[in-house]
Amino acid sequence: MADGKVVFMFPGQGSQYPGMGKDLYDKYDVARDVFRRVADFMGKDFLELMFYGTEEELTDTKNAQPAIYAVSVAALETLRHRGDSKCDMVMGHSLGEFSALYAAGVVEFEQGLRLVRIRGELMADMADTNRGGMAAIIGLDEDSIREVVDRYPDVIVANYNAPGQIVISGGSENLKKVLEELKPRARRIVPLRVSGAFHSPLMEEAAREFQKYLKKDEMRPPRVPIAMNTLGRLTTDLDEIYDALVKQLMGSVRFIEMTLDTYRAGGRKYVEVGPGKVLQGLVKRILKGKDVEIMGTEEIL
């Protein structure tokens, strides 16, 4: 691998699985301390849900978001304790953006956990009010997808994940119609394990409410550049970070652009910090043929 910079990337909703984080809790004191702080903030029952809950319970947005954030931070702090935490840039996918903010020093741990909990509750409320969902379209180009999506006002391209993998989001009725049109042309359509139409116009009210809890004066400039979802590029500007967070709930996750921008900035080693391997797979596709190293925390710890 060519010499270059290290990028820490943090997963979002859909990476959750029953028992996640239990191995960190059992093996590392520093991770155990993080989970104790989570229990103090969320309640002791929350750890029981994380370690022993069902897939259905963990898929619930208000549970999934703080759980993924907790595991990601526990993994990060374990890496730091072991001296493996050198990174030059950070990025997160959707919810993972808040773990990236913590890693960059923009927010404190409990501050980030509070925002994630509020975000999850607001999104869950909107999901209950405005029924919808998300689905990954595999093997179809953006123009072909947008040709159909643009005809339905409550359906949007939500995630630009990788070449040939685009996620759409929207109200149940119109989402079903869009998927019926796309199915004959797509190689595969995969419904996502989420409980609502996230990153779509149906989250507008949640975004307005969430802005009330975002306090720019409680944030600090990042210690390293952070690639923001709605910008699709790196920034160290706190005003840009704040504005991107406000727009994120109903805006698209531009993960392809984020990854390419980190590569242009010298990123050559990509480490997924947190549960699952979703982002590793996406980055491999985005940077196919490039001289990069891609791994997860379980390969380090």
Cα–Cα nearest to 283, from 187, 136, 193, 165 = 165
**Read out DSSP for 169-192?**
EEEHHHHHHHHHHHTTTSSEEEE-
| 138, burial (CB in 10 Å: exposed 0-12, middle 13-18, buried 19+) | middle
Q: Can 81 be counted among the known catalytic residues?
A: no
Which two structure tokens, joined as six digits, stand for 89?
């840039």
CA distance 219 to 300: 30
**Read out DSSP for 7-25?**
EEEE--TT---TTTTHHHH
CA distance 93 to 96: 5
Catalytic one of 15, 99, 169, 199: 199
Catalytic one of 94, 99, 169, 195: 94
Q: Can 199 be counted among the known catalytic residues?
A: yes
Placement of tokens 């944030």 in the chain: 219
Asked if residues 286 and 163 have their Cβ atoms less than 8 Å apart, the reply is: yes
Catalytic residues: 94, 199
